[in-house]
Amino acid sequence: MLASPRLKAMFSGPWAEANSCDANGLNRWELGEIFDHEAFTTVMNIIHGRNRTVPRSVNLEMLAKISVVVDDLSCFEAMEVFSKMWITELRGSLPSTYCRNLVFWIFISSVFREGTETILTSTTRTAVLNSQGEIDTLGLPIRHDIVGT
C-alpha cells in the first residue's frame, strides 16, 4: 500500500477487497487474468524489496507486460531503478518503422514518463508517419490522448 496509491485506496476503502479477510486475517485480491503472472510477480518483488529475485534484464514484451501492472497500480516510483535499467538496455532496439515493437515502446515510454520523453516523441512520430490507419494498441491501455491524436 505504501508503493501504490491504487492499492492503498482499494484495501482501506469500502471495497470488497478491504473486507475480505481469509482465515489468517489477510486481505485477498483475486487477480484472475488481469495481469501476466510473471510481470506481476516481478513488480511485487520490487515493491517488497526482494531485489535478488528481480531479473536484471527483460525482453521488450515482458517490459510492456510489467508496464501494464505498473500503470494499473500507479507504482512508478517504486519501479524507477529497474525500469531505467531495463529501458537503457533495450533503448538501442527502437524500431524505425510501424510495427508491434513500436507500439510496445509507445506504451512503455508513456508509463515511465521521466527520462523517456524523447522515446515517446520519437515512437509516436514514427507511428504517425508510417502507419496506414489508426494505431493498433494491441490491447495495451495506451492513453487516448496519445493514440487518438
pLDDT of residue 122: 92
Instruction: State yes or no: pLDDT of 96 exceeds 80.
Output: yes
pLDDT of residue 35: 85
pLDDT of residue 66: 97
Q: Which residues contact 29 (CB under 8 A, 6 or more apart)?
A: 10, 11, 17
DSSP string of 81-143, one letter each residue: HHHHHHHHHHGGG--SSSSHHHHHHHHHHHHS-TT-HHHHHHHHHHHHHH-SSSPP-TT----
Q: What is the mean pLDDT of residues 34-50?
A: 92
Instruction: State yes or no: pLDDT of 100 exceeds 90.
Output: yes
Confidence at 134, pLDDT banded by 50, 70, 90: confident
Contact 107, 135 (CB under 8 A): no
140-149 long-range contacts (CB < 8 A, ≥24 apart) are 140/64, 140/68, 140/103, 140/104, 140/107, 141/68, 141/71, 141/72, 141/107, 142/103, 142/106, 142/107, 142/110, 143/110, 146/106, 146/110, 146/120, 147/106
pLDDT of residue 147: 85
User: What are the tens digits of pLDDT across the range 4-40?
Assistant: 666 656 666 555 555 566 667 666 666 667 789 999 9
Lowest-pLDDT choice from 15-19, 59-63, 143-147:
15-19
pLDDT of residue 9: 60
SS (H, E, C) 113-126: CCCCHHHHHHHHHH
Confidence at 60, pLDDT banded by 50, 70, 90: very high
**CA 135-110-30 angle, 5° bins:** 95
Share of the chain above pLDDT 70, in %: 77
